[in-house]
C-alpha cells in the first residue's frame, strides 16, 4: 500500500483505462452510500482535481452527502492485468446545469440525455494497493439501458421528476437541476 498527495501520470493513465469505478460518500446520521459507475464518465482534470458525470437514476445520495459533509472516496479496480486497486480521497460538490461553472466543467465531457450534474472533486490524497484478491474479468459491453430510458423521456418529464425528488433516502436536502444541459 502506498499513499500519494496527488494523482500521478501513471495513475491517471490507469484511471482512463478503467470501465467501472465505485463512489462512496457519507453524512452524519445517514446511510453510507456506495455506488458503481460506468459509461466513460470520469475525468482526471489535474493532479489535484477530478470530475465525473452523473446521470439521473434511482437516487441522488452523492449530491446530498456532499452538500452535508463533502467527503468522497472513489475506487478503481483493475479487472485485468496487472492487478491494482486505486483510491482517490477528496472533497466534492455537485455542479448543476444552472451553475455558473457548468460550461467549463461540461467541456470535458460528451453531454447527452440523462446527465443530471457533474461532481467536481478536489483530491486530498490517493492510495494504491495490490488488488491481488480481485478476480480477472472481461468486459462484454456497456449496458445501454439507462441511455435508452433517457432517450424516450421528455425533458419536461425529467425536470418534473427532479423537482419532486428534493430529498435523499435519509431525508437530507438535494439540490436539483432547474434546467437540463440538453434538449
d(CA 83, CA 89): 20
Residue 156, judged by CB atoms within 10 A of its CB (0-12, 13-18, 19+), counts as exposed
**Residue 174 lies inside a defined structural domain of this protein:** no
Beta pairing class for 85-95 and 42-46: unpaired
Q: Residue 128 corresponds to which cell in the numbers above? A: 494504491
The whole-model pTM stands at: 0.96
- pLDDT for 183: 67
- pLDDT for 85: 98
Of 5-14, 90-99, 162-171, the one with minimum mean pLDDT is: 162-171
Residue 135 gets the label, from left (phi > 0), alpha (psi -120 to 50) or beta, of beta
Residues 6+ apart with CB under 8 A from 159: 177, 178, 179, 180
Q: What is the mean pLDDT of residues 70-78?
A: 98
Q: What is the mean pLDDT of residues 143-163?
A: 92
CATH code at position 148: 2.30.110.10
**Residue 52 lies inside a defined structural domain of this protein:** yes
| pLDDT higher than threshold 90 for residue 59 | no
Over residues 107-119, the pLDDT tens digits come to: 999 999 999 999 9
Contact 85, 128 (CB under 8 A): yes
| pLDDT higher than threshold 90 for residue 182 | no
pLDDT range class, residue 58, cuts 50, 70, 90: confident
Residue with cell 488488488: 131
pLDDT range class, residue 102, cuts 50, 70, 90: very high
**Residue 9 lies inside a defined structural domain of this protein:** yes
**Total of domains in the chain:** 1
- pLDDT for 176: 93
**Residue 173 lies inside a defined structural domain of this protein:** no
**Residue 175 lies inside a defined structural domain of this protein:** no
Q: What is the mean pLDDT of residues 88-106?
A: 98
Over residues 19-57, the pLDDT tens digits come to: 999 999 999 999 999 999 999 999 999 999 999 999 998
Domain range for 60 is 2-132+140-164
Amino acid at each position: 500500500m502506498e499513499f500519494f498527495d496527488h494523482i500521478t501520470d501513471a495513475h491517471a493513465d490507469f484511471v482512463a483505462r478503467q470501465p467501472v469505478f465505485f463512489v462512496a460518500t457519507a453524512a452524519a446520521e445517514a446511510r453510507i452510500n456506495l455506488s458503481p459507475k460506468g459509461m466513460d464518465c470520469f475525468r482526471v482534470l489535474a493532479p489535484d482535481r477530478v470530475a465525473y458525470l452523473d446521470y439521473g437514476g434511482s437516487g441522488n445520495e452523492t449530491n446530498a452527502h456532499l452538500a452535508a459533509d463533502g467527503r468522497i472516496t472513489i475506487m478503481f479496480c483493475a479487472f485485468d492485468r496487472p492487478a491494482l486497486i486505486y483510491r482517490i480521497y477528496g472533497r466534492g460538490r455537485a455542479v448543476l446545469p444552472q451553475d455558473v461553472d457548468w460550461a467549463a466543467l461540461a467541456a470535458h465531457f460528451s453531454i447527452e440525455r440523462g446527465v443530471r450534474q457533474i461532481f467536481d472533486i478536489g483530491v486530498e490524497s490517493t492510495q494504491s494497493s495490490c488488488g491481488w484478491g480481485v478476480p480477472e474479468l472481461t468486459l462484454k459491453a456497456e449496458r445501454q439501458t439507462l441511455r435508452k430510458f433517457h432517450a424516450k423521456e421528455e425533458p419536461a418529464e425529467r425536470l418534473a421528476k427532479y423537482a419532486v425528488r428534493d430529498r435523499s433516502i435519509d431525508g437530507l436536502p438535494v439540490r436539483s437541476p432547474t434546467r437540463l444541459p440538453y434538449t
